[in-house]
Structure 1
Amino acid sequence: MEIIYLNETHLSDFQTLYTRFFIELREKQGWKPGEEEIYRKEAEVYFKCGDVIFLALEGSKAAGFIRLSSREGCFWVEEIYVRPEFRGREIGRALVERAEEEVKKHDDALYLFVLPQDKDAIGFWKKLGYGTINTIELVKDLKPSGRSAVHTVELLGERFRIFRWEGERFTDEERRFMELLERFYEEGGTKKEFLELVNKALEGWLE
């Protein structure tokens, strides 16, 4: 396997992988993907604007990519993708390690967003030493939306919602927790009451 800094010669390979990334993601989410030509144009724009993009090659075949952007002096992983037939060969890890080497020349941290439904991605990043920090996405629906297919989760007793996915992989206990939490809030439970319940349970376990 070889990892190269993306160049004009392999731009078409990157466009194809970028398109496959979004088609696969939308399938997992249960959403309709956009037009392939739109994804290909986006990929070309990112290449031309100077984003850091590495391509993994297996022989003559493009196996995967990672794309980094820079915002306000910080580097972000925007996408990482390995074609299904090349998974299980540590290509994703190699792409991340190459990206980290590049970022170390300019900064001492690499950031990314992961949707809470994407447990495979969360497990992958945690295995590589990444930890969760402080981002929460908020939304206000200004018109009626299709945001009914959601799970209820919480952070320090605050109620949050995450989209349901077609490809979810929650455990039975995780699903049970979300269902109980939804009922708790629907029946008038408050943040204060939730924290009291959790603290009492934790104290009981620790005793």
Structure 2
Amino acid sequence: MEIVRLTEDYLGEFQTLYTEFFMELREKQGWKPGEEEIYRKEAEVYFKRSDLIFLALEGSKAAGFIRLSSREGCFWVEEIYVRPEFRGKGIGRALVERAEEEVKKHDSSLYLLVLPQDKDAIAFWKKLGYGTINTIELTKNLKPSGRSAVHTVELLGERFRIFEWKGGKFNGEERHFMELLEEFYEKGGTKEEFLKLVSSALEGWLE
């Protein structure tokens, strides 16, 4: 396996991988995928604007990619993707490590965003030493979206909603907790009441 910086010679392979990434993502999200040509044009734009893009090659075949952008002086992982037949072979880790090597020439940190329902991705990044910081995404539905399958989660007592994913991997205890949270907030429970309940339970466990 070889990790290479994207060049014009491999642009077609990158466009195909980029398209596969979004087709898989949209299926998980339950969204209709965009037209393949749109994804291919996006991929070409990112290459031409000199994003950091690395390909993993297995023999003569492109097995995966990672793309980084630079925003406001910080480097961000925008996408990482390994084809299903090549997963479990350390290719994702190798792509990340190669990207980190490049970023270290310019900065001391690498950032990314992960959806909370993507448990596989969260576990992958934590295994590589990444931790959670700062970001909460907010939205307001300005018209019916057709996306009614959501879960209730919380952060320091604040109520948040996350979309259900096809093939979601929440275990029974996690789902039960989210169901209880949903009922708690639907019945008028407040942030202050939630924090008191949790603090009391933790104090009891620690005694």
For Structure 1 versus Structure 2, the TM-score category normalised by the shorter chain is over 0.9
The amino acid across from 2:186 in the alignment is E
Structure 1 residue 8 and structure 2 residue 8: aligned? yes
| Cα shift at 1:145 | 3.1
The amino acid across from 1:26 in the alignment is R
- Hey, what does 2:52 align to over in structure 1? 52
Unaligned runs of 5+ in 1: none
- Hey, what does 2:36 align to over in structure 1? 36
- Hey, what does 1:204 align to over in structure 2? 204
- Hey, what does 1:178 align to over in structure 2? 178
Offset from partner CA, 1:103-162 (integer Å, 9 cap, x none): 000000000000001000000000000000010011122333334221110000000001
Structure 1 residue 74 and structure 2 residue 62: aligned? no
- Hey, what does 2:64 align to over in structure 1? 64
Contact kept in structure 2, 1:29 and 1:167, CA below 8 Å: no
| Cα shift at 1:28 | 1.2
The amino acid across from 2:98 in the alignment is R
Distance 1:162 1:37 in 2: 29
Distance 1:57 1:14 in 2: 11
| Cα shift at 1:167 | 2.0
| Cα shift at 1:62 | 0.2
Unaligned runs of 5+ in 2: none
Residue correspondence of structure 1 range 110-189 to structure 2 within 5 A? 110-189=110-189
Contact kept in structure 2, 1:15 and 1:43, CA below 8 Å: yes
Contact kept in structure 2, 1:55 and 1:65, CA below 8 Å: yes
Secondary structure, counterpart of 2:70 in structure 1: strand
TM-score scaled by length of structure 2: 0.98
Distance 2:112 2:187 in 1: 36
The amino acid across from 1:178 in the alignment is M
Distance 1:86 1:194 in 2: 44
| Cα shift at 1:29 | 1.3
Q: Which runs of 4+ in 1 moved over 4 A?
A: none
Contact kept in structure 2, 1:13 and 1:62, CA below 8 Å: yes
**How many residues are paired up?**
207
| Cα shift at 1:30 | 1.6
- Hey, what does 2:101 align to over in structure 1? 101
Distance 1:53 1:6 in 2: 6
